[in-house]
Amino acid sequence: MNMKQKMSVALISIILLSATALAASTSDATVKAPTAAFSAKPLTGNVPLKVVFTDKSTGKPTSWKWTFGDGSSSTTKNPTHTYSKAGKYTVILTVKNKLGSNTATKSNYINVVTVKPVASFSASPTSGEAPLTVKFTDKSTGTPTSWSWSFGDKSTSTAQNPTHKYGKAGKYTVSLTVKNAKGSNTKTMSGYINVKVTPPPVDPEMITVSVDASLTEAFTDMESQFEAEHPEIYVNLNFGGSETLRRQIEGGAPVDVFASADENQMDILADESLITNNSRKNFAHNSLVLIVPKSSTLNITSIKDLTNYKVKKISIGNPNITPVGKYTRLALTEAGLWGQLENKLVLAEDVKQVLVYVERGEVDAGFVYMTDTKTAQPGTVKIVANVPVSTPITYPIAVVSSTEYKEQAQKFLDFVTGKEGQAILKKYGFITKS
């Protein structure tokens, strides 16, 4: 190659390199740092509120970081988020590309509200032969936090979706009262449950057993097993707080057996000669624990941590009517914390309601029995501390002195305190004599 040819090749190379650099410069000039912008729909509504967020940023962002204001976040371009608590939420979006980042903040952008609940329910089946087991399903709106059922046969329940067994023929009127912080509402369906009876060869006797709410799952299991072994006896379970049940017995309610979570309630009935003293037995023990929502970030590890100003709401059973509330008050008083925490307390009608409050994240912490944690919705709560109480948490059971079915009532009591009943209690975490 001669000198002239070499110079031509060099000139062509310079031209090509210049063109490439110019093209790259022109391409970069079309890319700019992004500007964050977004919209959402809906902006307001009732708990739980599902919101769809839409990115409207300019400048071709390549990454997105959303903060929804309730401790949740997302890196999706157009996320959907559900708010489970009432409040006003500030939403933040940060977008980025290789030339920079930008943030858009909308204060109090999402407004989630709690409204007064409206009671509604269904049941299945609504008719059939006795004994008829009916599953009731709550269909109330407005996010209720407590439920009070009346089944029309003098039995009640505070479970959200209870199962009740009707032992006698008749048409039963069912009522449901639901409550939340905004108020209450009642739905009544007259003659809703139609129970028919084909007379059996031997007419079974029905006994009513009033049981503290903390024993709900264990005694429901016992009922099925006992009836399978004793087809001549129907067991009607009546759940509630121990003091409420004691007052029902004092008021003349037709109760045959009483199982309490508080020895004091049984002592009162004994002093009034309302139980058969020689039938009375202690059949189980429990322990008190402090629980928090599984998603809690407050780092609560002991009851002393409840004094932290960041802890706003603590649920306990009402100490005036529930054993779990009395044990909690005693424990906090003995720890010197009752006066400091009293203004933070959210009182519940029974231990199951405390559990619901914590499961839903409506309170920062709650005091329940160890056994109640085993029936919590999976992944909703965690135990952070065992709570010492100077008075043992003991469960007594006795035959009510006014019963017309002493033999049948005693058979059920013997089942509870016997090998089979104790095994069922142990399965649900109770401390038993065996």
Q: Is 348 contained in some domain?
A: yes
- 235, part of any domain: no
Q: What type of residue sits at position 134?
A: V
Domain termination site, one of 113, 128, 152: 113
Give yes or no for a contact between 305 and 299, defined as CB atoms under 8 angstroms apart.
yes
In-domain check, residue 394: no
Please give the model's pTM, rounded to 2 decimal places: 0.51
* 125 in the same domain as 173: yes
pLDDT at 114: 82
Label the pairing between strands 127-129 and 183-196: parallel
Based on the fold, state whether residues 156 and 84 are members of the same structural domain: no
Exposure of 205 by Cβ count < 10 A (0-12 exposed, 13-18 middle, 19+ buried)?
middle
- Domain membership of residue 104 as a residue range: 38-113
Predicted local confidence at residue 2, as pLDDT: 63
**Closest by CA position to 405, among listed 234, 264, 252:** 234
Residues 99 and 132 both lie in one domain: no
Judge if 55 and 101 occupy the same domain: yes
The CATH number that applies at residue 340 is 3.40.190.10
Kindly state whether residue 206 falls inside one of the protein's structural domains: no
**93 and 61 housed in the same domain:** yes
Residue 404 domain flag: no
Instruction: Assess if residue 186 is contained within a domain.
Output: yes
The reply to whether 294 and 338 lie within a common domain is: yes
Residue 20 lies in a domain: no
Residues 368, 319 share a domain = yes
User: Which of 58, 82, 113 is a domain's end point?
Assistant: 113
Number of compact structural domains in the chain? 3
Q: What single DSSP character describes residue 145?
A: S
In order of 140, 251, 305, the CA distances from 354 in angstroms are 20, 27, 19
Residues 6+ apart with CB under 8 A from 145: 179, 180, 181, 353, 356, 357, 360, 362
Give the Cα-Cα-Cα angle 212, 218, 223 (nearest 5 degrees). Answer: 95
Nearest to 164 by CA among 118, 120, 206, 201: 206
Residues whose CB falls within 8 Å of the CB of residue 348, separated by 6 or more in sequence, listed in order: 146, 315, 316, 317, 318, 322, 325, 354, 357
Digitized pLDDT (tens) for each residue of the chain, 434 residues in all: 566 666 665 556 655 555 554 444 444 456 699 999 999 999 998 888 999 999 999 999 999 999 999 999 999 999 999 998 889 999 999 999 999 999 999 999 999 988 899 999 999 999 999 999 999 999 998 889 999 999 999 999 999 999 999 999 999 999 999 999 889 999 999 999 999 977 655 668 999 999 999 999 999 999 999 999 999 999 999 999 899 999 999 999 999 999 999 899 999 999 999 999 999 999 999 999 999 999 999 999 999 999 999 999 999 999 998 999 999 999 999 999 999 999 999 999 999 999 999 999 999 999 999 999 998 999 999 999 999 999 999 999 999 999 999 999 999 999 999 999 999 999 999 999 75
Last residue of a domain, one of 60, 83, 113: 113
Three-point CA angle 30, 32, 37, nearest 5°: 130
Alpha-carbon distance of 160 to 352, in angstroms, equals: 10
| Within a domain: 141 | yes
CATH number for the domain harbouring residue 83:
2.60.40.10
Helix 263-271 with 242-250: angle, nearest 10 deg: 10
Residues 98 and 182 in one domain: no
Q: Are residues 290 and 381 in the same domain?
A: yes
Q: Are residues 339 and 379 in the same domain?
A: yes
Is residue 109 located within the same domain as residue 123?
no
Q: Is residue 120 located within the same domain as residue 107?
A: no
